[in-house]
Amino acid sequence: MLTCIIRYQIDPTKREAFETYARNWGQAIPRNGADLIGYFAPHEGSTTLAYGIYNIPSLAAYESYRAKLAADPLGQENYDFAQREKFILREDRTFLRLASAPHGSAT
């Protein structure tokens, strides 16, 4: 299992647009094959950093998921929305694998 962490630099004056974008992905991502952990918008501290985090079985599954997402009507609409509104200034993806398992109990 891989975890994809998307780090966004967003325009702080357009945080509401990013939150709309995040809610749209909350619908489109799970139905196209990824296990969405969530999208996270700025709350305290930095006003420009946001994150999207989801799990995917493999890089091959990621490629299939991306093709499905690009063909999804809400996915297409959300891509267009981000391009039109220009609230994302930078976007970086990192794929990580869990290295700390198994986790112990908190006794």
Averaged pLDDT for residues 6-18: 97
Write the CATH number of the domain with boundaries 2-95: 3.30.70.100
Domain map (residue ranges) of the chain: 2-95
Q: What is the pTM of this model?
A: 0.90
Find out whether 18 and 47 touch, Cβ atoms under 8 Å: no
106 pLDDT higher than 80: no
CA 65/CA 34 separation, integer angstroms: 7
What pLDDT score does 105 carry?
82
pLDDT tens digits along 60-76: 999 999 999 999 999 99
What pLDDT score does 50 carry?
98
pLDDT tens digits along 23-62: 999 999 999 999 999 999 999 999 999 999 999 999 999 9
Provide the 10 A C-beta neighbour count for residue 20. Answer: 16
Written as six digits, the tokens of 78 are 């959300």
107 pLDDT higher than 80: no
